[in-house]
């Protein structure tokens, strides 16, 4: 009985050991499975994170592609604009060169016209001076002829003693008297034979001075532009006789002119 009990005990112990070993082995497998599950879950999370990042990268790439397309389109438009501006610049430069050429030609023509105008003015002044000299010469010859006619008795003329008086007796400023004397105009007759334009051409005598001279001459029974001639130190009036009213009208007409 003892041997049987011992063997039975041994068998029970073996069974317990086997069951314990199986239990320990099963627990170890569960732990390994849990660790594997944990590892796989960790890898899954990592893969999800990588997939999310990959999706973000794909989105960024798509956005970059869209931006690149827009930028390429803008670059093409800018290139067209630059070409258009270059064409306009070439046109403007060509027009500017043409304008410079025309301006240079116009300046040359202007200078030529100015020179021609100056030459014409110079010719006109010379001819006017010649005409004025001829008029003075003709007037002098007329006076010489009138004096000869009076001297030979061919023409009856009235002697004007007032014309022999010196310029100094006239009621005009001393400065004007000095200017007249400097031009060898010493008596009233010499002054009365002159016209307004001639007097205004003398330096220092202006329109106001001419009016005062004419007024002073009228006080002496004379006037500017009077027809008179000097014969043998005597002054004679010739031509149509003027009354005081006619002389006044004549003076008024000269003032109006």
189: closest CA among 224, 149, 147? 224
Q: What are the structure tokens assigned to 72, written together? A: 């390429």
C-alpha torsion angle, residues 178, 182, 185, 191 (rounded to 10): -60
Give per-residue pLDDT as tens, 80-92: 888 888 888 888 8
Task: Using the predicted structure, report yes or no on whether residue 169 has a pLDDT greater than 60.
Answer: yes
pLDDT over threshold 80, residue 132: no
8-state DSSP, 154:
S
Closest CA to 239 of 251, 253, 229: 229
Band of the pLDDT at 246, cuts 50, 70, 90? very low
The CA distance from 41 to 250, in Å, is 136
List the structure tokens of 96: 């500017």
Q: Residues 229-243: pLDDT tens digits? A: 777 777 777 654 443
Query: Strand, helix or coil at 234?
Result: strand
Q: Where are the domains of the chain?
A: 79-155, 157-256
Q: Is 170 helix (H, G, I), strand (E, B) or coil?
A: coil
* pLDDT value of position 215: 92
Q: Given this model, what pLDDT does residue 252 score?
A: 52
Q: Which of 52-61, 173-182, 248-257 has the weakest average pLDDT?
A: 248-257
Backbone angles phi, psi at 159, to 5 degrees: -75, 135
Max avg pLDDT among 59-63, 158-162, 212-216: 212-216
**Cβ-based neighbours of 181, under 8 Å, separated by 6 or more:** 167
Tell me what pLDDT residue 241 has.
Answer: 43
Q: Where does residue 236 rank: exposed (0-12), middle (13-18), buried (19+ CB within 10 A)? A: buried
What residues contact residue 235 under an 8 Å CB cut-off, 6+ apart? Answer: 159, 160, 161, 163, 164, 187, 189, 228, 229
Whether residue 256 is predicted with pLDDT greater than 60 in this model: the reply is: no
Residues 6+ apart with CB under 8 A from 184: 190
Q: Are 188 and 220 in contact (CB under 8 A)?
A: yes
Angle between helices 207-219 and 174-182 (to 10 degrees): 90
Q: What is the mean pLDDT of residues 119-130?
A: 82
- pLDDT at 63 (0 to 100): 76
Grade residue 254 by pLDDT with cuts at 50, 70 and 90: very low
Q: Which CATH architecture has domain 157-256?
A: Orthogonal Bundle (1.10)
């Amino acid at each position: 009985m003892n041997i049987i009990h011992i063997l039975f005990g041994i068998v029970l112990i073996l069974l317990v050991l086997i069951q314990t070993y199986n239990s320990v082995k099963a627990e170890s497998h569960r732990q390994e499975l849990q660790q594997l599950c944990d590892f796989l879950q960790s890898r899954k999370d990592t893969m999800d994170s990588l997939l999310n990042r990959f999706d973000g990268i794909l989105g960024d790439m798509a956005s970059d592609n869209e931006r690149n397309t827009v930028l390429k389109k803008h670059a093409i438009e800018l290139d067209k604009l630059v070409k258009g501006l270059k064409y306009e610049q070439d046109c403007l430069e060509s027009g500017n060169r043409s304008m410079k050429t025309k301006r240079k030609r116009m300046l040359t023509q202007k200078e030529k016209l100015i020179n021609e105008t100056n030459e014409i003015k110079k010719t006109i002044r010379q001819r006017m001076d010649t005409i004025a000299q001829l008029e003075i010469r003709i007037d002098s010859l007329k006076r010489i002829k009138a004096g000869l006619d009076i001297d030979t008795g061919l023409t009856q003329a009235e002697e004007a003693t007032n014309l022999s008086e010196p310029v100094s007796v006239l009621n005009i400023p001393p400065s004007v008297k000095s200017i007249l004397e400097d031009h060898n105009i010493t008596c009233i007759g010499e002054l009365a034979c002159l016209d307004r334009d001639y007097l205004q051409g003398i330096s220092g005598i202006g329109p106001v001075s001419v009016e005062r001279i004419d007024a002073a001459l009228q006080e002496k029974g004379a006037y500017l532009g009077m027809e008179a001639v000097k014969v043998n130190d005597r002054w004679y009036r010739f031509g149509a006789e003027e009354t005081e009213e006619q002389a006044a009208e004549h003076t008024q007409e000269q003032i109006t002119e």
